[in-house]
Amino acid sequence: MKNIERTGLNIRVSVAFALCGFLMSCSDEQQSIVDTKGSGEMSVAPKTGASLVRGNSIEPSSLDPHKILIDSEDVIVSDLYEGLVTLDQDGAVQPGIAYSWETSDNQTFTFKLREDARWSNGEPVVAKDFVFGWRRALAPETASRCPEYITPAKIRNSEAVVSGTNRPEKLGVRAIGPHILEVSLEQPTAYFVSMVSGACFVPLHRESLEKNGDHWTRPGKLVGNGPFELSKWRVNEKIELTRNPYYWGVDKVRIEKVTYLPISTDAEFFRYQSGEVDLTWGVPDDQFASLRDSSPVELFSITGYGSHGFAINTIKPPLNDPKIRKALAYALDREIITGKVFNDGDTPAYTNVWDKMPGMAPLEVPWSTLNQQQRIAEAKKLMAAAGYSENRPLRLKLPYIKSPNNRKFVLAASALWKEALGVEVEHIAIEWKSMVDTVQKGEFDLVPMGVGDSYPDPSSILNHRLTGANQQFGYSSGKFDQIMAEASASVDAEQRAQLYAQAEMVLAEDMPFIPIFRQSNSLLAKPHVRGIARQAIGYPKSKDLWIADQE
């Protein structure tokens, strides 16, 4: 999950943006507190009535689970809502509103819901709330990006609902009594349960949506089922959440109030130093090395299995030509970008999925084995075959979200392209909301982007390259689609891993996305903030954190 300050547009993948939560080391029976900062068992108790202030990068465009786009929105939504299951800090599935589930064929799944689950207004959370939420996520009039995450799950009739050829009521999900939910798939999918951990699969409170219309996500109107409820939202200033007294696990939520600040990495670092922020979204690149030496106990690592680089408009000439896309990929020296431009633990990436991800076969795409001089030589051949050279330079339009770090990244890539291939890049610094509009309209050649994993299977990343997914980028490959369909239908983990590797080879040949680095994002937490894993696959959920009582 790339710091959006750095790379610009970080598309959520069912997000993380539900990527994974962080476990608080606390025994249900003995309530023993474990110090996750490394000093072992602690005698210090959690502070009662504690408040937590978190930096959160940018102002959310929405708190509608079906409309959020990026990690920093999903982190807030995961405080307000809870789905059938959640993911822990290692990406493992944990019970959420569903306390158990079963299947005999990996095609029909039955979830049993907690009878003590409540909405923030005190009403019970029931199976029909999930039915309503999932139908709304797919309904064409919702205009959500959720179909991108739900249709790969192969829920019966999901594609027909998205296309409008079937009514949402025909979706293969139904309530069998108040606390039993049945989901029918079109084919066996062994990893289905992990797929429903994201924001697109949460339940929704139908009455509050219908009563409040477009204002249903505002304070006093939003009815959620998560550990916190929305109390204040001052645009471009802060979002405040307070503990939801009706949450089924409220006795384990040790934070009373959470404040999210939509501020840049540099601004939050200044406020962190002054004691105004307890937990940051990121760390300024120019501060990482000194903090690693001076304040290692306050520095935490957030990792993921996806990659960060440039998403390409494959519809619009000239980048509809894969030869040019590959040339641009080959010409970028990833050692320079990770080692000199961003010297903060990132590593070079040559594939969409890190092969250390569970379920992924070891993989080495052919061009990654070349040294940089050889890659540039190949890039020049490809550019010449496409009709471009230093005498007839390729000209590109590259918008990016306005920030010093983004500018540094874009300028570095542009300089490498210019030096190697004579490419001329027009840089356009814009605000986040303008970036969303620019991408949706297709008014770009390529944009900085990160794509992460939303559930522990390579398909969570690779599904973004399926035909129809991320339509604004236009990529479509029948060969890739077929491989992914075979992988989805397979219940053999080894066979799926090999198919995912084949899919990566197709992407390496077509290059609809240029992978550049794997992120090791860092954040800072004050010594009194506990419950954060030293290394984890996702930003911490507020319900898993607590403030140590120093008195």
Can you give 262-308 as a three-state secondary structure string?
A: CCCHHHHHHHHHCCCCCECCCCCHHHHHHHHHHCHHHEEEEECCCEE
| Residue 266 falls inside a structural domain | no
How does residue 39 score in pLDDT terms, banded at 50, 70 and 90? very low
Residue closest to 150 by CA, chosen among 468, 476, 493, 494: 468
Q: Across residues 513-522, what is the average pLDDT?
A: 87
Can you give the pLDDT at residue 24?
Answer: 20
Report the C-alpha gap between 446 and 325 in whole angstroms. Answer: 10
Q: How many residues does the chain have?
A: 551
Backbone φ and ψ of 273, nearest 5°: -65, -35
Lowest mean pLDDT among 22-26, 362-366, 473-477: 22-26
Can you give the pLDDT at residue 404?
Answer: 74
Backbone φ and ψ of 459, nearest 5°: -60, -25
Can you give the pLDDT at residue 347?
Answer: 87
Residue 518, pLDDT > 60, answer yes
Tell me what the pLDDT averaged over the chain comes to. Answer: 87
Parallel, antiparallel, or unpaired for β 9-11 and 238-243?
A: unpaired
* Residue 156: HSE in the Cβ half-sphere, 13 Å Cα cutoff: 15
How does residue 470 score in pLDDT terms, banded at 50, 70 and 90? confident
Q: Across residues 402-420, what is the average pLDDT?
A: 90
Q: Count Cβ neighbours within 10 Å for each residue of 22-32 and write b for 16 or more, e otherwise.
A: bbbbbeeeeee
Point out which residues pair with 241 in neighbouring strands. Answer: 230, 258
Can you give the pLDDT at residue 269?
Answer: 95
Residues 281, 289 contacting (CB under 8 angstroms): no
Residue 430, pLDDT > 80, answer yes
Other beta carbons within 10 Å of 417: 22
How does residue 321 score in pLDDT terms, banded at 50, 70 and 90? very high
300-311 pLDDT per residue, tens? 887 778 899 999
Residue 387, pLDDT > 80, answer yes
**CA 369 to each of CA 302, 350, 375, 487, 509: distance values in angstroms, whole numbers, following the listed order:** 28, 10, 9, 26, 15
| Residue 46 falls inside a structural domain | no
How does residue 431 score in pLDDT terms, banded at 50, 70 and 90? confident
66-94 pLDDT per residue, tens? 999 888 899 999 999 999 999 877 777 89
Which residue would you say has higher pLDDT here, 551 or 371?
Answer: 371
Point out which residues pair with 535 in neighbouring strands. Answer: 301
Residue 373, pLDDT > 60, answer yes
Percent of the chain with pLDDT over 90: 65
Rg (CA), the chain: 23
Q: Across residues 468-474, what is the average pLDDT?
A: 82
| Residue 441 falls inside a structural domain | yes
Residue 8, pLDDT > 50, answer no
Q: How many helices (H) and strands (E) does the chain have?
A: 17, 24
Report the C-alpha gap between 152 and 83 in whole angstroms. Answer: 18
Structure tokens at 237: 């200033």
Q: Across residues 144-169, what is the average pLDDT?
A: 92
How does residue 43 score in pLDDT terms, banded at 50, 70 and 90? low
The burial of 491, by beta-carbon neighbours within 10 Å (0-12 exposed, 13-18 middle, 19 or more buried), is given as middle
Which residue would you say has higher pLDDT here, 13 or 498?
Answer: 498
Can you give the pLDDT at residue 13?
Answer: 31
The residue with tokens 């645009």 is 235
How does residue 41 score in pLDDT terms, banded at 50, 70 and 90? very low
Domain count for the chain:
1
Structure tokens at 10: 């970080």
How does residue 536 score in pLDDT terms, banded at 50, 70 and 90? low
Residue 473, pLDDT > 50, answer yes
Global pTM reads 0.77
| Residue 450 falls inside a structural domain | yes
How does residue 32 score in pLDDT terms, banded at 50, 70 and 90? very low
SS3 category, 456? coil
CATH of residue 434: 3.10.105.10
Which residue would you say has higher pLDDT here, 38 or 231?
Answer: 231
In the chain, the amino acid numbered 296 is P
Residues 539, 299 contacting (CB under 8 angstroms): no
Backbone φ and ψ of 413, nearest 5°: -65, -40
Residue 16, pLDDT > 70, answer no
| Residue 534 falls inside a structural domain | no
Can you give the pLDDT at residue 550?
Answer: 67
How does residue 452 score in pLDDT terms, banded at 50, 70 and 90? confident
DSSP code string of 173-207: EEESSTTEEEEEBSS--TTHHHHTTSGGGS---HH
Structure tokens at 468: 């129809």
Report the C-alpha gap between 539 and 58 in whole angstroms. Answer: 15
| Residue 438 falls inside a structural domain | yes
How does residue 65 score in pLDDT terms, banded at 50, 70 and 90? very high
| Residue 392 falls inside a structural domain | yes
Residue closest to 420 by CA, chosen among 441, 399, 390, 442: 390
Q: Greatest CA separation found in the chain?
A: 73
| Residue 492 falls inside a structural domain | yes
Report the C-alpha gap between 144 and 285 in whole angstroms. Answer: 34
Report the C-alpha gap between 283 and 519 in whole angstroms. Answer: 13
Which residue would you say has higher pLDDT here, 18 or 52?
Answer: 52
Can you give the pLDDT at residue 348?
Answer: 93
Structure tokens at 7: 């790379």
Helix-strand-coil split of the chain, %, nearest 5: 35, 20, 45
Which residue would you say has higher pLDDT here, 332 or 435?
Answer: 332
Domain extent for 460 = 307-518
Lowest mean pLDDT among 35-44, 160-169, 274-283, 446-455: 35-44
Can you give the pLDDT at residue 196?
Answer: 95
SS3 category, 501? helix
Can you give the pLDDT at residue 513?
Answer: 97
Residue 25, pLDDT > 80, answer no
